[in-house]
Structure 1
Amino acid sequence: MRPLLCLMSLALLATSATAVAGSKKPDNLVPSGKAVTCVQLRQIRNTEVRNDRTIDFHMLGGKIYRNTLPHSCPGLGFEERFMYKTSLSQLCNVDIITVLYSRGSGLDRGASCGLGKFQPMAKTPSRG
């Protein structure tokens, strides 16, 4: 069971270009509906770290949930990758993520931070 959890954690690492820690990437998303406490792990397609407090969870089927952490998580916005451990089939607002730092040919653990609720988001119409 432990190797499966590690694989799931590593598979969900946010991988994108570097960003300035604490900066907010612009987006065209607005809140849409009531926040939920958990999302199903098997439904998460990928994650997008927006800054030290914000992670967008892109789900199968196109739905996006934004998680705004209750407190800033040092290094998250710069590294844009994290891991978590859970024995459940869900990721919830009581779970903890850990920032992963690139170090040579491996990854080191950084700050551990609690998640917030998962807010459904919808794209705003583009202005033409």
Structure 2
Amino acid sequence: MRMILTALAIAAVAAPGGARDRSQIPEAIAAGKPENCIRTISIRETHVRSDSVIDFDMVGGKVYRNTLPQACPELGFEEKFLYKTSIGQLCSVDTITVLHDGPGGAGPTCGLGVFQPVTLVKAPKHP
């Protein structure tokens, strides 16, 4: 049996100025039961919100918020990470590794939490 290992680097797109401060994390309302895994092929985009919060935008418009059980140093600053999976799913038992620009390239490795489907609350626009 041949196993194919998939390694994907996810560069998160953040709002201008970043949302690294927990008070700047977009408010979200739970939209269903948490899931242990999401299909990697369905991940359209990620948004690193802080050292402990990542939003996964999925094909079809669903959003999953993953709140890491422990803060991941440098994640909110670097806003990009790598994960490896051999099953086509990213799960709460998996880890991510913070990516750095420059020599070495890899930072801390941190565990994921469950994937909570959410509806992001739109902030009112200020004139």
Q: TM-score range by the shorter chain?
A: 0.7 to 0.9
Corresponding residue for 1:80?
Answer: 79
Runs of 4+ in 1 over 4 A off after TM superposition: 125-128
**CA shift for structure 1 position 88:** 0.8
Structure 2 spans left out of the alignment, 5+ residues: none
One-letter code aligned to 2:85: T
Match of 1:123 among 91, 114, 120: 120
> Aligned-pair RMSD on alpha carbons?
2.2
Instruction: Determine if contact 2:31/2:119 at 8 Å carries over to the other structure.
Output: yes
| Number of positions where the alignment pairs a residue of Structure 1 with one of Structure 2 | 120
Corresponding residue for 2:61?
Answer: 62
**CA shift for structure 1 position 28:** 4.1
Percent sequence identity is 43
Secondary structure at the counterpart of residue 42 of structure 1: helix
The structure with the largest helix share of the pair is: 1
Structure 1 spans left out of the alignment, 5+ residues: none
Which TM-score applies when normalising by structure 2?
0.83
Give the Cα–Cα distance (whole angstroms) in 1 for the partners of residues 70 and 18 of structure 2. 19
Give the Cα–Cα distance (whole angstroms) in 2 for the partners of residues 35 and 71 of structure 1. 18
Secondary structure at the counterpart of residue 116 of structure 1: coil
Q: Deviations over 1:19-76 (max 9, x none)?
A: 375x123424211111000000110001000000000000000000000000000000
Specify whether residues 15 and 87 from structure 1 end up closer, same or farther in structure 2 by C-alpha distance, changes over 3 A only.
Answer: same
